[in-house]
Amino acid sequence: MQGEEIRRLKEVSTSCEERNMASDECFKKLIVFSLDEIKMATFGFAFGNLLGEGVFGKVYHGNISGREVAMKRIHKNEEQLYLRFLKEIKLLSACDHVNIISLVGYCDEGDERILVYEYMPNGSLDDYLYKGKDITPRLTMEQRLKICIGAANGLSYLHSHTHFIIIHRDVKPYNILLDRNLVPKISGFMSSSTHGIGPTISHKSNHRIEGTEGYLAPECFELNYKLSQTADVYAFGVTLLEVLCERPPWKRLVLLALPLLMKGELESLTPKHVKANISPECLREYENLIRSCLEKDPNERPVIGEVVERLELALRLQIQ
């Protein structure tokens, strides 16, 4: 990549129009943190501050100027990761939605690349599904539905951004973070793709497969597959399945679930504590939605806006 393009990507101040903001603020400057500030906030990247580790780096908890933050320390010495780092800065600085994680700032010093986000005290949806009731309290069905609705609203924002479309490409419970009120925030944008608005927003992809095993739509494995928002809808369908069944997808979850979904018998994969807290009408609507999202033909899957509406219907059926 030419130096001028790198400088352009690193410019984190964007116009009001590009950010699609409905406020008088014409641009937003992210905070540029020094490496010393980051080290002080994390006690030198202490193990006790480590929140987790993903494909692209380790995430630490810290406190800067009285504000709790989460800091992703990108793995070093990989040019492609540096470009992803720059892309995430540009992408998140253009997003303004309650269900999208906020980027506070970044550090780009020496060989260190660190992204600084708002801190999510309730961890991820993944934590609530798999860490056990002794560590995280069990979610009620109403809470599960509200979290799914919020996450779907975040995806809808990404898929219908005014000036460009964002395809997340790694939708999963681990990337759905929860604030102190269990409001979900979509995170994990280093695999994301952006596309301009036009008559079609899919394209032939020559890139390697992005995402996480178990959440990838069938078309992602085809030669010259067409990348579109429907791949996110499929991954979200797998997420909805996990929310109900509390089983990770790499244990052949989708293969187990599909024939049961066709017969309306998914409750046989559902834990007793979940089954006991869901109304039959809600379960039926929820099952039908999962089945739609997991359609093999991407053209048969609902758009994410329809997913939001059907989840809201499921919630009404649950609380009526």
Q: Which CATH class is domain 125-319?
A: mainly alpha
Rounded CA gap, 310 and 200, in Å?
Answer: 25
pLDDT band at 13 (very low <50, low <70, confident <90, very high): very low
**What pLDDT score was predicted for residue 5?**
45
**What pLDDT score was predicted for residue 227?**
85
Q: What is the pTM of this model?
A: 0.87
Q: CA torsion 158→164→169→171, rounded to 10°? A: 0
**What pLDDT score was predicted for residue 207?**
54
For the chain, the domains span: 12-118, 125-319
Q: Percentage of residues in the chain with pLDDT exceeding 90? A: 69
pLDDT band at 136 (very low <50, low <70, confident <90, very high): confident
In terms of DSSP bridges, do strands 31-32 and 103-109 run parallel, antiparallel, or are they unpaired?
A: parallel
- As a whole number, mean pLDDT of residues 43-49 equals 96
Rounded CA gap, 260 and 267, in Å?
Answer: 8
**What pLDDT score was predicted for residue 18?**
39
Per-residue pLDDT reduced to its tens digit, 211-238: 899 999 999 988 777 889 999 999 999 9
Cα distance between the two ends of the chain: 56
User: Is the per-residue pLDDT at 108 higher than 80?
Assistant: yes
Hey, which residues are catalytic here?
Answer: 170
Per-residue pLDDT reduced to its tens digit, 248-269: 998 789 999 999 999 989 999 9
- As a whole number, mean pLDDT of residues 60-83 equals 91
User: Is the per-residue pLDDT at 197 higher than 80?
Assistant: no
Q: Which fold has domain 12-118?
A: Phosphorylase Kinase; domain 1 (3.30.200)
Identify residue 90 by its one-letter amino acid code: K
132 in Cβ contact with 126 (< 8 Å): no
Which residues, in sequence order, are CB contacts of 10 under 8 Å at separation 6+?
Answer: 86, 89, 108
Distances (CA, A) of 207 to 55, 77, 195, 223, 303: 17, 21, 14, 10, 24
Half-sphere exposure of 252 (CA within 13 A, CB side): 3
Q: Is 72 within any annotated ligand binding site? A: yes
Rounded CA gap, 112 and 110, in Å?
Answer: 6
The pair of three-digit structure tokens given for residue 135, joined into one six-digit string: 């560590």
